[in-house]
Amino acid sequence: MGLTSALLLGPSVAGAVAAQPGAFAAKPGAHAANQGAPSAGPHAPVGGSPRIIDGSMATVNPGAVSLSNRPGVHNCTASLIAPNWVLTAKHCATAKEKPEVRVGATAWAKGELMVVDRTVMAPNADLALMHLTADVTTATPVKLADANPPVGSIVTMWGWGLTSPSATMTSPDLKFAQGKIATYTDADAYGGKAVSINGVDGTVWQGDSGGPAFTADGIQFGVASTAQYWNKQNTYVQVATYRGWIKDVAGV
């Protein structure tokens, strides 16, 4: 998957995100996916493998969603949590921006095209909810975790991001990598509660921002926030911690 070294944040995450909306905001020392760069399109990556960064190709889509700020460009990953609500990272969204949303296919460009009419940002975490103008009919919403899985659990991370650090185009096809939960002491890009996942057979990178992490039984417990491909350390927002906010906004 992919998060390039697009942005290395200084002391102020909010300032960096304001300067470059949609950037995969990273805590100091970490890198994150950037919606605007590179100019990625639905093509095979240059210099990359046909997989995440390693990992595997997906044969089914478990509820992942592609976000595009302009036609023909995959920018961030998300998940369908209700027929008319999408969950992603806050650094992948702005209150005024209305990205294209594609749902229901492993090839993101072939997904059902949906329209966003409202985006709600979490106040203290790297999360955003996007409301769709119509219900999705080609995909089933994911189930969200009410509790964090134990440290040591083997999980999966999903997205359409870059397939190598040197790649210049995101993957046309959905990928996943296995990871192992390391700790719950990390913070996300906005200082929110996060889970640290060590890549087992791959890692996330640019374009995977906002994407889901699932338990072995298919429950989404994380949203991709920051990553360091060189040591396969990935930081995901804890879904269970913010279930109250998600329910208040989206009703699920």
Q: Which numeric CATH code is attached to 63-141+245-250?
A: 2.40.10.10
- Inter-CA distances, 94 with 1, 105, 251, Å: 23, 25, 21
Q: Locate 246 and state its tokens.
A: 């998600």
Question: What is the distance between the alpha carbons of residues 140 and 184, in angstroms, rounded to a whole number?
Answer: 29
Query: For the chain, which residues make up each domain, given as ranges?
Result: 46-56+144-241, 63-141+245-250
Query: Which 3 state secondary structure label does DSSP give 150?
Result: coil
Per-residue pLDDT of the chain in tens (252 residues, 90 and over written 9)? 433 332 222 222 233 232 233 334 434 334 443 333 222 222 222 233 333 455 556 678 888 999 988 778 888 999 999 999 999 999 998 766 778 899 988 877 788 999 999 999 999 999 999 999 999 998 999 999 999 999 999 999 998 876 666 666 776 788 888 999 999 999 999 999 999 999 888 778 778 899 999 999 999 999 999 877 667 789 999 999 999 999 999 999
* 157 contact partners, CB below 8 Å, separation of at least 6: 1, 52, 55, 176, 177, 178, 179, 197, 199, 202, 203, 204, 208, 211, 212, 213, 222, 224, 234, 236
Q: Are strands 64-68 and 143-144 parallel, antiparallel or unpaired?
A: unpaired
- CATH code matching the domain that covers 46-56+144-241, chosen among 2.40.10.10, 2.60.40.10, 2.40.110.10, 3.40.50.300: 2.40.10.10
The verdict on pTM exceeding 0.85 is no
Return the amino acid letter for 66.
Answer: S
Q: Are strands 85-88 and 128-132 parallel, antiparallel or unpaired?
A: antiparallel
Same fold yes or no, 46-56+144-241 and 63-141+245-250: yes
d(CA 194, CA 184): 6
Going by C-alpha positions, the residue among 135, 131, 145 that lies closest to residue 249 is 131
